Amino acid sequence: MNTIYTPNNLLVTGGAGFIGTNFVHYWLEQYPDTRIVVLDSLTYAGRYENLQPLEGQPNFRFVEGDILNQSLVEQLLRDEAIETIVHFAAESHVDRSIYGPDAFLKTNIDGTHSLLKAAKTVWLDEKDEYEHRFHHVSTDEVYGTLSATDPAFSEVTPYAPNSPYAASKAASDHIVRAYQHTYGLKTTTSNCSNNYGPYQYPEKLIPLAISNLLQGKSVPIYGDGQQVRDWLYVDDHNRGIDLIIRQGRLGETYNIGGNNEQTNLDLIHTLCSLLDERFPDSPHVPHKNQITYVTDRPGHDRRYAIDNSKICEELGYNPVETFQSGLAKTLDWYLEHTSFWMDDGIELFGAHAESN
């Protein structure tokens, strides 16, 4: 049985983005006696409005700032007595990384290194053996691509990233590992499959499809639509991170998956059917008529799949949501929050539905 680690004061980087936002809400609901400080630079995909309901609570603080600002991070660690960092902040849109990789290398590699240097300075150099955790949130894309018959990615699968985004996350994983082994920083890493759920910026496959289908617009699918992804409901991801922070073995990597492989085309057909049921009188029924096909993007990985047996066996993890229940919850949220995806200020990169 692993020793239980109990966080008190957490710094959550990228906490105004999709997964980070959901993590903050999840954590404060589960552990209302803890304190969270969110650090986010509010780039195009980060929204302060996601966290606004928490303002004024004594156990929450939002700081607009960049993870590359090492002195700011160090000051927050000292002033807020932070002993736990949960690192979500990242550039994550594969299409953007293909056409503008510099920002991905700067944020995902240099930014992660800046955080690690700050943590080492305050937790190790200044405080000496200070009890702490640094949890790094990564992606299954570091492992590359699979054929239809290959076994799923495990924690010992060799890294073979195929996009600038994936390569930048792979590099950050290695830097985190190096700080654990070289300096003794107490780190853990998780590599997750494709997330979906509330607050996801509408350039990703599911929210973009919901938005376009409801507005009678086409839903463009790359290539033949047979790319396979393992879909993970965002709060199932957060449950996994929670277990890793509290019970995970130091220096270890854990894969978090949803046990749900779907082709992009099957996913969109499922979503179209859901909308047909919800809105039978819509002029857009059947919604599948809005599907269009566009030229595949460069280096598009064919299949991702996660073997999450390690976290299940060691930490008792098990996804709660089925794909059907998770997709229904996601659709409900977007229907209740139309301003999130109909905002004129949304900055889409092209108009392609991509799944990472």
Rounded Cα distance between 286 and 273, Å, is 8
Q: Are 208 and 202 in contact (CB under 8 A)?
A: yes
Q: Nearest to residue 134, comparing CAs of 92, 101, 86, 199?
A: 86
Query: Is 277 tagged catalytic?
Result: no
Query: Is 344 tagged catalytic?
Result: no
Rounded Cα distance between 66 and 13, Å, is 9
**Cα dihedral sign, 46-48-49-50:** positive
* CA–CA–CA angle 94, 98, 104 (5° rounding): 70
Written as six digits, the tokens of 254 are 């854990």
SS3 assignment, position 274? helix
Of 165, 179, 199, 201, catalytic: 165
Of 91, 141, 173, 321, catalytic: 141
Backbone angles phi, psi at 251, to 5 degrees: 80, 0
Of 40, 83, 91, 140, catalytic: 140
Query: Is 141 tagged catalytic?
Result: yes
Q: Are 22 and 197 in contact (CB under 8 A)?
A: yes
Catalytic residues: 140-141, 165
